[in-house]
Amino acid sequence: MAHKFVIKKDKAGEFRVNFAYNGETIFSTEGYSSKASAKNAIESIIKNGPTAEIDDQTD
């Protein structure tokens, strides 16, 4: 699959979730102190993302 969530530890020791497509990071989350919190962020994105409102502020 070309899309995937990647959990990494940053230089500050926090866990971050990257959403990648074909190896390119599309977005990254804030840092979390635990891996469980990072996994909860992924679940929240999966659950809430499809119905999220689009706020186009370019008009």
Q: Is residue 20 within 8 Å of residue 8, measured between CB atoms?
A: no
8-49 tens-digit pLDDT = 999 999 999 999 999 899 999 999 999 999 999 999 999 999
pLDDT band per the 50, 70, 90 thresholds, residue 59: confident
> So where are the chain's domains?
3-49
pLDDT band per the 50, 70, 90 thresholds, residue 1: low
Where do we find the tokens 């074909």?
Answer: 22
Q: What residues contact 12, with CB distance under 8 A and at least 6 apart? A: 31
pLDDT band per the 50, 70, 90 thresholds, residue 57: very high
CATH 3.30.160.160 fits 3-49, yes or no: yes
